[in-house]
Structures are given as structure tokens and as C-alpha cells.
Amino acid sequence: MHLEYSDEENAFRAEVRQYLADNLDPETARKVKEGANPSKDEIVAWHKVLAAKGWLAHSWPKEYGGAAFTPIEKHIFEEERVAAGGPEIVPFGVNMLGPVLLAFGSEEQKQTVLPRILSGEDWWCQGYSEPGSGSDLASLKTTAVRDGDHYVVNGQKTWTTLGQYANKIFSLVRTAKGGKPQEGISFLLMDMDAPGVSIRPIRTLDGGAEVNEVFFDDVRVPVDNLVGEENKGWTYAKYLLMHERVGIAGVPQAKEELKKLTKVAKETVNEDGDLLIDDPFFAVKLAQTEIELMAMELTNLRILYDAQAGGAPGVESSLLKLKGTQIRQELTDLTRRAYGPYAVPYTPEVLETGANEDPIGPRGAVMSAPKYFNYRKISIYGGSNEIQRNIVSKMMLGL
Amino acid sequence: MDFNLSEDHKLIKDTINRFVRDEYDFETRLKIVEEGLGSSDKIWGQIAELGLVAAVLPEEAGGLGGTGLDIAVVMEEFGRGIVVEPYLATAVLGAGVLATIGGHDDLLESVIAGEVKLAFAHYEPEARYNPKRIDSNALKDGDGYTLTGEKSVVAHAGEADYLIVSAVADSEIGLFLVPADADGLSIRDYPTQDGGRAGEVSLDDVTLGEGALLATGADAQAAIDLAIDRGILAVAAEALGAMEAARDLTLDYLKTRTQFGVPIGKFQALQHRMVDLCLEVEQVRSLVTLAAVKFDEPGPERDKALSAVKVKVGQAGRLVSEESIQLHGGIGVTWEYALGHIAKRLTMIDHSFGDTDYHLKRFIKLKKAA
Ligand SMILES: Cc1cc2nc3c(=O)[nH]c(=O)nc-3n(C[C@H](O)[C@H](O)[C@H](O)COP(=O)(O)OP(=O)(O)OC[C@H]3O[C@@H](n4cnc5c(N)ncnc54)[C@H](O)[C@@H]3O)c2cc1C
């Protein structure tokens, strides 16, 4: 037993580090590191930087322009991306739709849809959840009724992440009623600019603009846009949800947050003139979180190496999501505490490109509370932590 | 023992409760917050008209009470409505200081009438939550004073007509009354996470007349200490109201939101957490009650009760915020739903007058000294 990365893995890490150092736009990286949101153009440009190197679609095979990374390579890439300040790769096209099409799409869909994801021509968003169907996704009500060589779609999706930037949406729609709710669902590829599609932003509690409601009113969708077979969409959706959970532990992000927080703790003075790192009340919490993360990192690697050796990453990803989200939420809590009263001002605009106002207090304080509030989402989306526990107790423990 | 509110307190409680329900529903509040003014002249006028500014001031100062229970009863109800008006800054802190020091009856009268707003500019940029670290300076200048220094995250500074500023004069702490339009006074006014407003206050050779000095030495220190204690009690009671509002929303949601064909409140995994949440809120109510009743009996027991309630509010505030949001799912993280705003206020309360760690340490010191 040993816990070192192989020479090849280390060489890969060095290559990623160098490529990002040479090609990641510094202004984009600054924003990401300071917790501000990169613009649409900055995200598209970043995707192009990765696509140029063949590193945008980590799990796709090379013949479709993917990187065909191993699970460990994905992990190493993520560590380097986060450390460099690269934006999170928008997952909907490359990590969600891509794998579904590769597994279940027609050859024509693969040939037309996949290249446009890599080129940045298409921005996909995910139309699963509905107002009445969150955890109980199979109860979804949006309908698609066959009319000649079209489906006519009516209904509403919600929580559609970055839908405001998207020109495409993959949706789960009901094509048959009666029977088990899972059985009448189909997976449709739709245009956001088709007549009858409208979108309304949902502002989040931290003031952010990342989710939307999407309404379908007699939207006509060519039957060729059906993925796989009619009424088999649930199978594809479940396959996709599995992919959604890859990397969900967020170990690289957590390590970076811990590093930043440790720096803050070494620079910030408490009421008695001691550094926070020397203040046992703070330092104990920081240390406990680090210990959890050390364990988590190895748990994650154990599961990744298992997956690499052919064991399928199944239920374990639920465990990773649970612990990973707890640690990351705790880190946001400690970070806003570390900044003390300077967590109170709400001035995200000082981090925008070209802003010339100074922050109030330390720069790192600006997004500390908004991030704490925003990160409530990570234990809700992608299957809430309660649902993850249900999965583990049923599938892993047989309860 | 008698845990019942007096008839007078019941009346105040009902008055504010009705006022919040009728005049300050969530949409109204959201509008005030989004307009970015920090408060509404109309609402502030109504608050004054209802006699609520006077409610937390002693009779000698033209008020109607000013006891610990008065503060707690009023603030709990404001907390329920997550009211962003400058009540804490003006009535609890600013007017509280003037009343403690005495001799400013005319000014207090205008404050009570809702015509004048105040802010308490005390904490400093390098001090974190330490109320004793004051670097601002007041130089004797003829009959008057010249003030220099910086004050940090001063609640509602930008709306105040007068700031009550602490500064060291001749190595003694002093309190000064500074008009908002004084030369050399500048305020960087900004919104806060919880929908309120605050400001960074710079005093750059602000010259003041003799009358600006409110108190020095032990009198000034006592007034500052009392103001901060009033602040702690006020935000703790406010947090109690806010937590109860979060609890009620969550309980209601568990009963009405259905998934998998049943109300989500039927899931035992959620039931137990809801029970724990309710239990924490009861614990907070007990400590708010203790702190409020002890408030008017100076001594270590009172001080311990204040730090105890601030610790509890910090911890339970976090639990209630996080759990309420989680039990709601996606709807809990939206701007258009009250819960997120309650959570933001609860969180920011932990960032005022000393956070959980600060008050844990203070509690330990008090315990050791006892
Ligand atoms: C920021 C954000 C971005 C999102 N992005 C997208 C997106 O791009 N596309 C998309 O389709 N969806 C997206 N979602 C939706 C997300 O998947 C849902 O919010 C999630 O599935 C939970 O559903 P819900 O919000 O309706 O909560 P509900 O399902 O109503 O759950 C409410 C509470 O009940 C609990 N609960 C539910 N069922 C059970 C049970 N059986 N046992 C125990 N507890 C239970 C939940 O855990 C939660 O605590 C996003 C959500 C958020 C917050």
C-alpha cells in the first residue's frame, strides 16, 4: 500500500498546471478566486480554451472530441482548475447531456449535438424539476403530445440553472399516462428560442441570478429530437443523475477554500490581539474541518481508484455528496465568521470588472456571507441530502 | 414565579404584531429593501406615532418604560416581521444613550416624535467585536473639540441626523453628539446582507462646540456599556421573533408540500429535525426571558445572562436558518420567499455586538470571576 500519485499522474498534473497558467484569462481567474461570477462571455471563452486542448468533455471518448480522462485524471484536473481559478465547467452539455447521447442517442444526434457543445455554439440547460416535482421527479407533469412528426409540449420547468444563457434545453416530458409514473416519461431536446418557450429569472437569497423558470406553451418539437425510445426517458434520466454526482464531493474546491480560510486565520486578529489561528475557539473548528476533509479526500480517492479498476461508482457517490456538502458548507460558515463585522456589508459590485471602489474591509470578506447563503443550495440540488441518505440506506444498507 | 406578560406588555405586543401584519407584510418590506433607502419615512412615522420609540426609553427621559422586558417585547415582534427600520440604531441605542446621560430632553422629544434619527458610532475597523478598543481621538480645541477617527459598520449611519460618537479625549473615553452635516464627517453608506443599511464613518478634523460633549470618563463608559447591553438584548429578542417566524413557515410547509404522494412532514427524517428545531427555539425563548428580567438588576448574573443569550442566539440562529431552508428545498433559497431574508437577518445578528465565540469567552470570564 502507498499513497503517492504515479509518475504519469504527476506528469499529467504538471501539464494541466502549465496549460492553465498559459491560457486561462487572468481577469476571469481573479473573479473566480474572489468569489464573483464570471460573465457568460468569460465562461464561453474558458470552455474554448479547454476545447482547444481536447479537455472540455472529460468523460467522452477521444473519437467524439472528448478527453477520455480516467477518474483520477478528472480529479487531478479539477484540483488544478480550482487552484488556478478556472470557472467550473458548465456541466449540462458536457457532463450530463453528452454521456446520455453517447449511451442512448442516435448516431445523427451524436454527430450534430456533440460538436456544437464543444464549439460553444450551443449552451444547454437541464429541464428536469418542476414546481410540483423536485425530489419526486417522476411525478412530473409537463406533457408532450404527438402531432404528425412533432411533439407539442406544454408545462413548466423550474430551477433551470443558467437557463438565461442557454439556447437549448433537454427536458423530461410525459408522453404517456397511467401505469407507474416512471414509465411514461421521455427525454426531449428542445430549442429555447422556439415559439412558446419563455423564461423568468428566479433571484436567489444572496441576490444571485443563476436559476430560472421555463414555461412551455404549445411548443412544437420535431420527433427527431427524442432521445432513445419514447417512454424510456426515466432510464436515461437516472443514468444522467449518476453522472451528475461524479465529482460531487467537491474535494478540490474544499481544499482550496480551506487553504484560503487558513490564510485568513493567519492574518486576522481577534478582540484580544491574537491571530484567529491562535484563538482556540476558532482554531479548533478550523482543525476539525480540516481533519474531516483529510478523511474525505482519501475516501474520495479510494472510491475513484476503485472506479478506475472497474468497480462502478454507484451508491458511494451518495456518501461523497453527503460528506462533501457538509464540509463545504461548514467552510463557508467559518469563512464568514472569520471576517467578523466585515461580513455584514453587501457590496458584490466592487468585484466586478472595472469597478474602482475599494471593498469595505478585506477583499475576501465581500462574498463571504453571500457564499454562505448561496451554498445552502448544495445540499438541496442534485438530489437533496435527505434523498441521498434514503438511497444509501436502501441500496447500500438494505434497510 | 410568573411567566405571563403584564397587560401593558400584551398591549404593546399586540400593537406591533397587528402593525407588522397590516402595514409591513413581506412584500412591503421587500419593496423597502429593494428601493435601497434602508427604511421608509412612512413606516418610521407610524412607528413613532404608535409610541414605540418611547416604549424603550425611561419616563424621566419622556419615555414610557425602557426596562429589559420593554426592549424584549418590542424587538421580538419587530423580529417576527424582519423589520429593517432604524429602530435599533435610533431608539434602542442612540436614544438610549441620550436618556442615560440625561439633559437632552428637546432632542429626545424630536426622536420620540419620529422627526430625528440617530446612530451609535462606536465600534472601530481594527477592533473586530471589542467594544473597548477605541482609537478615535477628540482634541480639546478652545471650548470645543476636534474629532478624528474611523467607525465601522455603523448601523443606519447614512440616515441619521445625529451620530453618537465615542472618542478618546485626554486619555479618557468620551461620547460626542455629531450632526450628520458636520464638516469633516463623511459616511460611506451601503446595504447590508440582511436588507438593512450601514456605513463606514470617517471623522476628519470634525470641529464641535462645547455642547457636543455628552459625557466623559466613567459616565461615558457606563453609557456605552449600557447601550451595548441594550443592543445585545434587543437583537436576541429580535432573533427570537425571527426564529419563530422561520419555524412557523417551515412547519406550515411540511404540512402542505407534497412529494411522493404525501405531505413531506410525513417523512420521519424530517419530523425529528423539525422537533429539534422547535426545541431550540424554546431554549432561546427561555434565555431571552432570563436576560430581559435580569436586565434591570446590575451584576454578574445579569451580564452572564446577556452573554448566554447571545451565544444561544448565535448557535440556534444558525441551526434554525439552515434547517428551515433545507427542509424547504429549493424554495428556501429564493429571494421572493421570506425565509431566506429571515435567515440572513439571523446570521447577521451573530455578527453584531460580539459573535458566538466572543460571548462564549465573555461568559467564561464572568464565570471564572464569580
Ligand atoms: C440552486 C439550484 C439549482 C438547481 N438547478 C437545477 C437545474 O438546472 N435543473 C433542474 O432540473 N433542477 C435544478 N434544481 C432543482 C433541484 O434538483 C431540486 O431543488 C431538488 O431536487 C429538491 O426538490 P425541491 O426543491 O422541490 O424540494 P422538495 O422535493 O419539495 O423537498 C423539500 C424537503 O423535503 C425533503 N424530502 C423530499 N422527499 C423526501 C423523502 N422521501 N424523505 C425525506 N425527505 C424528503 C427534501 O430533502 C427537502 O428537505 C436546482 C435547485 C437549486 C436550489
pTM equals 0.97
Domain tally, chain A = 3
> B162 and B295 share a domain?
no
Q: Cα separation of B331 and B250, whole Å?
A: 11
Residue A243 confidence (pLDDT): 66
Domain boundary among A175, A199, A230: A230
Residue B2 belongs to some domain of the structure:
no
Instruction: Say if residue A245's pLDDT is above 90.
Output: no
Residue A309 confidence (pLDDT): 84
The C-alpha R_g of chain A, in whole angstroms, comes to: 22
Which of the four pLDDT bands, split at 50, 70 and 90, describes residue A314?
Answer: confident
Instruction: Say if residue B159's pLDDT is above 80.
Output: yes
Average pLDDT over residues A229-240: 93
Of A133, A205, A270, the CB nearest to B128: A270
Residue A37 confidence (pLDDT): 94
ipTM of the complex: 0.97
Which of the four pLDDT bands, split at 50, 70 and 90, describes residue A145?
Answer: very high
The pLDDT tens digits of the residues spanning A328-378 come to 999 999 999 999 999 999 999 999 999 999 999 999 999 999 999 999 999
Q: Which residues pair with A126 in a beta bridge?
A: A170
- The answer to whether B78 contacts chain A (CB < 8 Å) is no
Q: Are A379 and B326 a contacting pair at CB < 8 A?
A: yes
Q: Cα separation of A12 and A78, whole Å?
A: 12
Which of the four pLDDT bands, split at 50, 70 and 90, describes residue A246?
Answer: low
Question: Both ends of chain B: CA-CA distance in Å?
Answer: 25
A133 Cα to the center of ligand 1, angstroms: 8
Identify which of A202, A243, A380 to mutate to test ligand 1's pocket (most ligand atoms within 8 A of the CB). A380
Helix (H) or strand (E) holding A198: strand A197-202
The pLDDT tens digits of the residues spanning A63-108 come to 999 999 998 999 999 999 999 999 999 999 999 999 999 999 999 9
Task: Tell me the backbone φ, ψ of residue B11, rounded to 5 degrees.
Answer: -65, -45
> A49 and A173 share a domain?
no
Residues 6+ apart with CB under 8 A from B266: none
Residue A162 belongs to some domain of the structure:
yes
> B226 and B347 share a domain?
yes
Instruction: Say if residue A242's pLDDT is above 80.
Output: no
Burial class (CB in 10 A: 0-12, 13-18, 19+), B140: exposed
Q: In which domain, by residue range, is A268 found? A: 249-395
> A201 and A133 share a domain?
yes
Q: In which domain, by residue range, is B200 found? A: 120-217
Q: Are A341 and B152 a contacting pair at CB < 8 A?
A: yes
> A300 and A387 share a domain?
yes
Average pLDDT over residues B250-266: 98
Instruction: Pick the closest to residue A352 from A31, A45, A29, A24 (CA basis).
Output: A31
> B81 and B16 share a domain?
yes
Interface test with B, best of A376, A384, A393 (most B CBs within 10 A): A376
Which of the four pLDDT bands, split at 50, 70 and 90, describes residue A311?
Answer: low
> B224 and B350 share a domain?
yes
Domain tally, chain B = 3
> A207 and A281 share a domain?
no
Which of the four pLDDT bands, split at 50, 70 and 90, describes residue A312?
Answer: low
> B171 and B302 share a domain?
no
The pLDDT tens digits of the residues spanning B173-188 come to 999 999 999 999 999 9
> B237 and B297 share a domain?
yes
Provide the H-helix boundaries in A54-138: 71-84, 91, 98-104, 107-119
Assign residue A19 the CATH number of its domain: 1.10.540.10
Of A134, A269, A279, the CB nearest to B330: A134
Cell numbers for A318: 451518495
Instruction: Pick the closest to residue B108 from B60, B40, B62 (CA basis).
Output: B62
Residue B73 belongs to some domain of the structure:
yes
Residue A113 belongs to some domain of the structure:
no
> B82 and B141 share a domain?
no
The pLDDT tens digits of the residues spanning B85-118 come to 999 999 999 999 999 999 999 999 999 999 999 9
- The answer to whether A159 contacts chain B (CB < 8 Å) is yes
Residue B1 belongs to some domain of the structure:
no
Average pLDDT over residues B31-59: 93
Q: How many residue contacts between A and B have a Cβ separation below 8 Å? A: 138
> B242 and B124 share a domain?
no
A230 as an active site residue: the answer is no
Assign residue B126 the CATH number of its domain: 2.40.110.10
The mean pLDDT of chain A is 95
Residue A110 belongs to some domain of the structure:
no
Residue A304 confidence (pLDDT): 86
Residue A104 belongs to some domain of the structure:
no
> A262 and A198 share a domain?
no
Domain boundary among B116, B131, B164: B116
Residue A316 confidence (pLDDT): 86
> A257 and A219 share a domain?
no
Which of the four pLDDT bands, split at 50, 70 and 90, describes residue B169?
Answer: very high
Residue B320 belongs to some domain of the structure:
yes
Q: Which chain B residues touch A360 with a CB distance below 8 Å?
A: 153, 188, 190, 200
Q: Which residues pair with B294 in a beta bridge?
A: none
Domain boundary among B116, B137, B162: B116
Helix (H) or strand (E) holding A98: helix A98-104
Residue A272 belongs to some domain of the structure:
yes
Assign residue A166 the CATH number of its domain: 2.40.110.10
The pLDDT tens digits of the residues spanning B276-323 come to 999 999 999 999 999 999 999 999 999 999 999 999 999 999 999 999
Q: Are B260 and A135 a contacting pair at CB < 8 A?
A: yes
The pLDDT tens digits of the residues spanning A8-41 come to 999 999 999 999 999 999 999 999 999 999 999 9
Report the percentage of chain A scoring pLDDT > 90. 91
> A141 and A191 share a domain?
yes
Assign residue B88 the CATH number of its domain: 1.10.540.10
The pLDDT tens digits of the residues spanning A188-231 come to 999 999 999 999 999 999 999 999 999 999 999 999 999 999 99
The mean pLDDT of chain B is 97
Of B267, B343, B360, the CB nearest to A281: B360
Q: Which chain B residues touch A180 with a CB distance below 8 Å?
A: none
In the set A78, A80, A230, A244, the catalytic residue is A244
Are B35 and B191 spatial neighbours (Cβ–Cβ below 8 Å)? no
Residue A303 confidence (pLDDT): 87
> A218 and A141 share a domain?
yes
Q: Which chain A residues touch B130 with a CB distance below 8 Å?
A: 271-272
Q: Which of A219-223, A231-235, A241-245 has the lowest mean pLDDT?
A: A241-245
Interface test with A, best of B128, B352, B355 (most A CBs within 10 A): B128
Residue A237 belongs to some domain of the structure:
no
Residue B36 confidence (pLDDT): 83
> A349 and A279 share a domain?
yes
Residue B175 belongs to some domain of the structure:
yes
Residue A108 belongs to some domain of the structure:
no
> B251 and B352 share a domain?
yes
